[in-house]
Every structure is written in C-alpha cells, then in structure tokens.
Structure 1
Amino acid sequence: MILEKTNIEDIILLTPRVYEDDRGYFMESYNQKKVEILIKDKFVQDNESESHKNVLRGLHFQLPPHAQSKLIRVIKGSILDIAVDLRKDSSTYGKHFKHILSGENKKQLYIPIGFAHGFLSLEDNTILNYKCSDYYNANAEASILWNDPDLAIDWGVENPILAEKDQLAENFVTFENPF
C-alpha cells in the first residue's frame, strides 16, 4: 500500500497494490500494520451507501466527544470526495481537499477528526464504503452547507440531489466550531 501525504496536513491518500489477471483482481484494502506509520486510529464501524449520479452528501461531521476519523473507499462507480479542514489552529483552516475516488482507481482517502466530509456521486449506483474511528451518534451529527460561499468548493454541478438536512446545514462562518 502506498501512503501519500496531501497539501492539507493529516489528509492521506492510500493506493493499494492491485494484482490483476484474466480471472479478475485481488487487493488488500486495509492493513493496520502497513498504515500505522501515518494513521493511528482504530476503526470500530464500517458504513456503506449507494448513490445515484449527482447525489451530493455532506458536508458532515460528528461533534466531540463522538468525532470520527474516516477511511473512504469506492467499491463501484466514482465520487468527487471533499474534506474541509475545521481545525481552528491549522494553517489550512477552512481549506478543502478534493479527489476522485472510484472503483476503478481503488484509491482511498483518510480524513482525520476535525474535518467535514462530503461527496458527489459521479455515476449511478455508486457504492461507497468507509471506516469510522467512533460509533455513529445521532445527537452528535452536524453539517456545513455544501455550497457555502466562504468555502468556495467547485463541485462541478449546479443542482445536485440533496437530502433536506443538507439543504438546511449551517454556514461555515456562523457554525459553532468545536475543533
């Protein structure tokens, strides 16, 4: 597995070694011993979602003490994955990292605690799987508006399909930041 630091500190792009032949492929999608040099989290919950093309989910995060780091991977289809730095003391506070993850490229994105996460599905029937470092807690759920002008994220879509909670999310400059 190749671990690659990004332009935002603590966000890590992982590329597994994929062994392909005429039968298909094999890859090790996660190995704690191989990633612990940069990723110290213990993951306790796996989640999976399926989304149609132009579904946008996010920008979500869990409030402390239930904050979560995530390891995102796409099993089928593709997404534009976004992580926004909410860490007030970070030199990249308010900045975002984006990358296309797909079933084809098999790359994964590690997002530590202190980031909001969202994604745009680029294909129908896209299946996303992600590991979390803490259990989901409905009372700790929070989100920031996907198209907040202060974040200036270019999602590449004007009218995505959104859940009601994502339409009603808070603005970046007014949300009560616990990080």
Structure 2
Amino acid sequence: MRLDRMQGWVKKAEMAAKTGADGLAIIGLVLLLVQGFAITGDALSRWLLRAPIHGLEDLNGLLIAVTLTCFMPLLMARRGNITIRLLGQSLGPSFALWFDAFGQIMLTGFVFVVTWHYGLYALDLGVQYSPIVEIPRQPSAFVATGLLGITLIVQIISCLASIGQAIHPEKAQP
C-alpha cells in the first residue's frame, strides 16, 4: 500500500512537472521570438540605415542560455531525449522498461553534473560584463542555473516514474 501511495504522488508530481514545463517552454518561445525579431530588426537596420542596433549582440549572448534552458524541463517531462529501444524490445517488455529506467537514472546523473558545473561557472563569472554595453553576465547565468535546477527536478520525477513503471509493468502507460 505504501508503494501505491508513492506512485500516486509521483503521478501527481509528473503531471505538475509537465504543466510547469509547458509554461516555461512558452516563456522560452516568447524569448526566442523576441530575439528573432530583434535580430531581423538589426539586419534590416544594418542594411537600410547602415547602423546596427547597439548592444544587441551582448544581449543575445546573455539571453541565449536562458532561452535554451527554458525548453529543457519540457524535454525531460516528455522524456523526449534520444533512446535506443532495439535491445530492450528484443529482450521483452519487462527488460525494455528496466533499460528505460536505467537510461533515466543515467540522464538524471548527467543533468545533475551539468547543473552543478553551470552553477560553478555562474559563480566564477563574478563581476564580468558583456564587451560592448557592459551588461553584467552573472545574473543571466544564475537564471540559467535556476532553470537547469528546475530541469533536474523534472528529470528526477521522470526517473522515479520510469522506475515505478519498471517495478509495476502492469501499470505502465503505453
């Protein structure tokens, strides 16, 4: 009975993670569109007026990590990472679920290491500024680190769900 309660909690957490990841992906999409329009405006300004938008390169350089990390929780929530299922499927459905769980465990470790090292990178930035308009670089690195932390939490939930499916294959979703 205790395992059933934990699986119920993991299912609820998984649904909440997917909802939150969808919201972050929308924020990422808006940032990506803003950057795309700004780059288009910069190109048109260079072509028509012979004058670039001052500081846009600095701003884009700082926002790209934030923009990309907005999409990572969605990738983990939907388990959209690359998987090789040939061996697991050839050995049977139970083995396939355990191979998937093993892959999720390894991915969780990888996301942890990336988050940890990006956090160290953000701390090492100190008081560095962008080269053209001197925007501080550390705040955007901290935001990206926070988004990687959210990605890690979502991945842990996906990993637990995958392990639960391997333990109880009869409750596994197709």
Q: Does the pair score TM above 0.5? A: no
Larger Rg: 2
More helix by percentage: 2
Classify the TM-score, shorter chain.
under 0.3
Q: TM-score, normalised to structure 1's length?
A: 0.21
Q: TM-score, normalised to structure 2's length?
A: 0.21
